[in-house]
């Protein structure tokens, strides 16, 4: 009996520790926390909320300042293999729009990223962006691209990542592009209703 108990205890001690499921965030400077501390950015706050709620998830934030949908697409395969995420949040496109890149290419990249993530077994959420009105018809087509992709792919969508802070200059840094730390909890609260159902 003692030998059996010893062998059982030895087996348990060699089993790997239970690993939390991963939420992978693929974004640009708006998710990387440009101009603020990384732990203040909304993906870090998401990780803290998950921990506070005792939900078995961790957050891997692979957002890079200046990233485009093409860059995200090129990095996604390796990220999926490394992190094996249960959920992928795609928050890219802002830099494509600000640079006036071809929207057909942006849509192709986002569609490909959704397909890649789903093929890996992950659930996907998409975060859209908007451009200033001075971009003319391009701005309208840009905004509609995210809606069209989400409908076609049946993907949960945050139509405009910065919706709760966009109209208030006090929530932005001096460049008028990047949110300050005080804006990040509001962004998280805006994103949470789209992410939360994917946790179940």
What is the C-alpha to C-alpha distance for residues 42 and 187, in angstroms, rounded to an integer? 7
SS3 65: coil
Burial 103-127 (b: 16+ CB within 10 A, else e): beebbebbbebbebbeebebbbbbb
* 178 catalytic residue (yes or no): yes
| Active-site residue identified among 13, 18, 52, 175 | 175
Give me the DSSP letters along 139-194: HHHHHHHHHHHHHHHT--EES-TTTTTTT-GGGB-TTSSSB-GGGHHHHHHHHHHH
| Active-site residue identified among 63, 96, 145, 178 | 178
* 29 catalytic residue (yes or no): yes
* 58 catalytic residue (yes or no): no
| Active-site residue identified among 28, 29, 63, 145 | 29
CA 10 vs. chain centroid, Å, equals 40
Q: Which residue has the tokens 């890219």?
A: 92
- CB neighbours of residue 166 within 10 Å: 14
What is the C-alpha to C-alpha distance for residues 37 and 2, in angstroms, rounded to an integer? 53
- Residues with a known catalytic role: 29, 175, 178
């Amino acid at each position: 009996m003692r030998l059996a108990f010893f062998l059982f205890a030895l087996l348990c001690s060699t089993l790997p520790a239970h690993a939390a499921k991963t939420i992978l965030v693929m974004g640009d400077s708006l998710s990387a926390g440009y101009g603020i501390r990384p732990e203040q950015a909304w993906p870090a706050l998401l990780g803290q909320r998950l921990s506070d709620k005792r939900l078995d998830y961790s957050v891997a934030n692979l957002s890079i300042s200046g990233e485009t949908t093409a860059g995200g697409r090129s990095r996604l395969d390796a990220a999926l293999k490394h992190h094996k995420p249960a959920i992928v949040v795609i928050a890219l496109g802002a830099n494509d729009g600000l640079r006036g890149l071809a929207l057909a290419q942006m849509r192709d990249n986002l569609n490909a990223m959704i397909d890649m993530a789903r093929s890996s077994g992950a659930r996907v959420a998409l975060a859209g962006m908007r451009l200033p009105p001075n971009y003319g018809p391009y701005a309208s087509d840009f905004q509609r691209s995210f809606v069209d992709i989400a409908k076609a792919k049946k993907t949960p969508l945050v139509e405009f990542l910065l919706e709760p802070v966009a109209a208030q200059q006090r929530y932005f840094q001096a460049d008028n592009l990047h949110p300050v730390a005080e804006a990040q909890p509001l962004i998280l609260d805006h994103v949470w209703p789209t992410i939360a159902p994917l946790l179940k």
